[in-house]
């Protein structure tokens, strides 16, 4: 039996069914058009990052929530088929899985979400979290600002595990102080911290990650990625790899690629981690859906 020697990762984040409709254009009011194709895939930022980390050979445990309907059972089987440990995903009685519909036409994208399960209302016991976190090397919290994500970040810090946090539009004020790596995009940087990407500096890092020597990694779409560590700032340009089909999961897959490199190689090698992150998100955006193929 082949046992992975790569760092073990616990991911906490959202899980959904994504229905992706590829269209020649977005229909007008009352207009009917034929879709070019439709893809039904597992989505949600937690499930996407878990998928890419597992694809890199990490032992991945995912925590999140689904319902008890057919779609939820399908999600679990899809995750398990990717060797993601799904036992601690809560199955909420009487609920259907969260869904998202993406209408995609070239670079235009419209998303409709239906959230039956609000992760803010779902809690895990402290001792259950401690047991799960004790078994891994790294904890990644993806975009859920809740008491549980706060508990996870505090427990992981107390157990001396490394921690990454993806903001995805949330402030994560209570969780951020524990981050070794904080991920956001340039729009979130502006709206949450009122800082533009060009003004980032090591001196300003304490505002984003108070009280800890963490690293900030800011993606900026097809342009660049900027990382700020307590000692230096680094900017890498995004390469043009090929035709973009669907940007779903661009940030989630970037996080997975960055983390896989950062955890496996020397953590000081931020430049290499950014490059692996960019290559991972390039593979993601050249296909439909946010999961690893």
215-to-23, 68, 83, 94 alpha-carbon distances in Å? 39, 39, 29, 41
- Residue for token pair 């899980």: 15
Helical H segments across 82-233, by residue range? 126-134, 147-158, 173-176, 186-193, 205-208
Which two tokens mark 148?
């549980």
Residue 106 binds ligand ATP, judged by CB under 6 A: no
Q: For Mg ion, which is the closer residue by CB, 43 or 251?
A: 251
Residue 105 binds ligand ATP, judged by CB under 6 A: no
209-214, Cβ contacts within 8 angstroms, sequence gap of 24 or more? 209/176, 209/177, 209/179, 209/182, 210/176, 210/177, 211/177, 212/177, 212/178, 212/179, 212/180, 214/179, 214/180, 214/181, 214/182
The stretch near ligand ATP (CB under 6 A) out of 35-43, 120-128, 202-210, 249-257 is 249-257
Residue 220 binds ligand ATP, judged by CB under 6 A: yes
Residue 67 binds Mg ion, judged by CB under 5 A: no
Q: For Mg ion, which is the closer residue by CB, 19 or 220?
A: 220
The stretch near ligand ATP (CB under 6 A) out of 14-22, 83-91, 109-117, 274-282 is 274-282
Residue 277 binds Mg ion, judged by CB under 5 A: no
Residue 11 binds ligand ATP, judged by CB under 6 A: no
Residue 285 binds ligand ATP, judged by CB under 6 A: yes
Please state the closest distance from residue 222 (CB atom) to Mg ion, in A: 14
The stretch near ligand ATP (CB under 6 A) out of 53-61, 118-126, 133-141, 242-250 is 242-250
């Amino acid at each position: 039996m082949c046992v992975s020697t790569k760092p073990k990762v616990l991911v906490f984040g959202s899980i959904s069914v994504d229905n992706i409709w590829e269209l020649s254009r977005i229909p007008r009011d009352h207009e009917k058009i034929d879709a070019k194709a439709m893809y039904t895939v597992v989505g949600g930022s937690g499930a996407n990052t878990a998928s890419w980390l597992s694809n890199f050979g990490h032992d991945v445990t995912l925590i999140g929530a689904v319902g008890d309907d057919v779609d939820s059972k399908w999600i679990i089987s899809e995750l398990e088929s990717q060797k993601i440990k799904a036992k601690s995903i809560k199955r909420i009685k009487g609920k259907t899985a969260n869904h998202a519909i993406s209408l995609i036409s070239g670079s235009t994208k419209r998303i409709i979400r239906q959230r039956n399960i609000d992760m803010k209302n779902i809690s895990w016991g402290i001792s259950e979290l401690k047991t799960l976190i004790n078994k891994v090397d790294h904890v990644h919290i993806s975009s859920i600002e809740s008491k549980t994500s706060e508990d996870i970040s505090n427990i992981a810090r107390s157990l001396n595990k490394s921690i990454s946090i993806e903001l995805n539009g949330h402030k994560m004020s209570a969780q951020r102080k524990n981050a070794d790596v904080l991920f956001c995009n340039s729009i979130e940087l502006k709206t949450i911290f009122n800082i533009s990407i060009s003004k980032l500096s090591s001196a300003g890092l304490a505002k984003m990650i108070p009280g800890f020597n963490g690293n900030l990694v800011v993606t900026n779409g097809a342009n660049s990625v900027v990382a700020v560590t307590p000692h230096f700032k680094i900017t890498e340009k995004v390469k043009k790899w090929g035709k973009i089909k669907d940007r779903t999961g661009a940030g989630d897959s970037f996080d997975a690629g960055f983390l896989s490199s950062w955890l496996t190689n020397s953590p000081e090698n931020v430049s290499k981690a950014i490059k692996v992150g960019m290559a991972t998100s390039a593979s993601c955006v050249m296909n439909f859906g946010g999961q690893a193929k």
